[in-house]
Amino acid sequence: MNRHSARTTAPSGPADPFRERDSCGVGFVARLDGVSTHEIVEDGLRILTNLEHRGAVGGDRGTGDGAGVMLAVPDRFFRERRREDAPELPEPGDYAVGAVFLPPEPARAESCRRELERAAAREGCPVQIGRAHV
């Protein structure tokens, strides 16, 4: 019997309570009505700066190097900027967006891209890779 076997919550979507681990220094801010506000971002940044004991603290003492803030997917932004040759986006809430930083060497980057696609496919998630213009 492992330490997670006493949990009774069943897996829901991609979340599996038996794969979860305890986290030290996690903060969560949200509005129950789902309205996005700048105040939520400010509160999230305040949490990051006040959780100095977590292991992610490093070079950026202002927001905690290695930590981040997750925001809602900017659906309207993506729809307005979708290329004509790109597939239509699913309904809001039916897709996810991720940022992946690949190695600069083309062969290694391609290997990483293929592995990302394989991992997503194992989870039943189709992947469309775009490239940011920075």
Ordered per-residue pLDDT tens for the chain, 134 residues = 344 444 456 666 666 666 665 555 567 788 888 888 899 889 888 887 777 655 545 555 555 455 567 777 888 988 888 888 777 888 988 888 887 888 999 999 999 999 999 998 998 888 877 665 44
pLDDT of residue 102: 87
Which amino acid is located at 28 in the chain? F
- Whole-number pLDDT of residue 78: 87
Listed residues 37, 72, 107: the one ending a domain:
72
Range of the domain at 103: 74-134
Let me know whether 4 and 61 are in one domain: yes
Position 134 scores a pLDDT of 43
Residue 27's pLDDT is what? 73
Q: Looking at the structure, do residues 49 and 15 belong to the same domain, yes or no?
A: yes
Q: CA distances (Å), 101 to each of 7, 98, 109, 131, in order? A: 35, 10, 9, 11
Residues 94 and 127 grouped into a single domain = yes
Please give the pLDDT value at position 108. 96
Q: Are residues 66 and 111 in the same domain?
A: no
Q: What pLDDT, on a 0 to 100 scale, did the predictor assign at position 12? A: 63
- Residue 15 is given by DSSP the state B
Given 28, 49, 72, the domain boundary residue is 72
Q: What is the pLDDT of residue 52?
A: 62
Q: Report the alpha-carbon distance of residue 83 to residue 129 in Å, rounded.
A: 13
Are both 2 and 68 inside the same structural domain?
yes
Active site residues: 24
Q: Hey, which residues does 12 pair with through a beta bridge?
A: 15
Same domain, 44 and 66: yes
pLDDT at 59: 53
Asked which of 26, 53, 72 is the last residue of a domain, the reply is 72
Instruction: State how many domains the chain has.
Output: 2
Query: Are 87 and 47 within one domain?
Result: no
pLDDT for res 128: 77
Instruction: Assess whether 87 and 34 both reside in one domain.
Output: no
Does the pTM exceed 0.85? no
